[in-house]
Amino acid sequence: MLPKTEQKPPKPFRKPAPEARPETVAAAPDEGAGERIQKVLARGGVASRREIERWMQEGRVTVNGALAELGTRLRSGDHLQINGRYVDWQKFDRQPTRVLLYHKPVGEVVTRRDPEGRPVIFTQLPKLATARWIAVGRLDINTSGLLLVTNNGELANLLMHPKTQIEREYAVRILGEVPEAMIEKLKQGVELEDGLAKFDEVRFYAGEGANKWYYVTVTEGRNRLVRRLWESQQVVVSRLMRVRYGPVVLPERLKAHSFYELSDKELDTLFEFAGLPRESFPAQPKDAPKSARAGKK
């Protein structure tokens, strides 16, 4: 796992107005020339491949004035537009992949702008000159802990895709009695409003009386899944913290509002875990910072 820790519990693009559709750019017959639009933009952190493909199907992406198809490839000098706005795709065509481990506190939301004016996680991260950070999954406002962010949309999509069945581990403090029969039921499966769900693992950690700490593991990213599973048994979750996402563990000494950037060696491990060829992406410069840092950058 990376980094190591004892895992102790914590002490949009607008749609353009309807107009005449331009001609379509067919997929290039020369498979060795250029790269597909969705791959280039995802790598640059514009959005995930799946979202970019949806934009293309909706006619929101053009290359040299013609509608792009899913197989359309970008070549040097191509004029790319999304919703009629020019995108300088070449500046992030081969940018190095960066991955941050952010320790999200309770009270922050995982969004770029919040209409209610609540603090958002992206204001705590270093600014990118040529792309944007993409959050790998979400944590609700009342959940703290590990949140991965990256500028590589392709990597983010693989780490979030349901087919990958990536384990998410949480430290949970609950209020209420938890008999063994309840734990078995939660591991076997409980019918929620959006279907059957379960914990893959439940481990008691510590606690006496009404408050107890457990570690639980799930392989789904459904909204508020951990809370809803406990609440289905009339058990109240008083604190919830994600401590692991796949092979990545929240560093024990990483404080709330702080982030840690993975080194190239750690990135190699993450790429291997995601099944993504590392050689397809350039490495970070030798002088790139690799230590834990706190606050807004």
CB 144 within 8 A of CB 104: yes
Q: In angstroms, rounded to a whole number, what is the distance separating the alpha carbons of residues 96 and 285?
A: 8
DSSP letters spanning 96-144: PP-EEEEEEPTT-BSSS--TT---BGGGGS---SSS--EEES---TT-E
Check residue 176 and report its DSSP letter: S
**DSSP code of residue 185:** H
| Rounded Cα gap, residues 150 and 44, in angstroms | 10
Residue 171's closest CA among 214, 140, 202, 138?
214
Catalytic residue among 88, 140, 194, 268: 140
Residue 89: strand, helix, or coil: helix
Using DSSP bridges, classify how beta strands 66-68 and 24-25 pair: parallel, antiparallel or unpaired. parallel
Q: Select from 291, 229, 248 the least CA-distant residue to 145.
A: 248
Determine whether 194 is an active site residue: no
Query: How many whole angstroms from its chain centre is CA 102?
Result: 11
Rg of the chain over Cα atoms, rounded to whole angstroms, equals 21
CA 49, 52, 53 angle in degrees (round to 5)? 85
- Please choose, from the candidates 120, 118, 139, the residue with its C-alpha nearest in 3D space to the C-alpha of residue 223: 139
Is residue 64 within 8 A of residue 89, CB to CB? The reply is no
Asked if 48 contacts 157 with a C-beta cutoff of 8 angstroms, the reply is yes
Q: Provide the annotated active-site residues.
A: 140
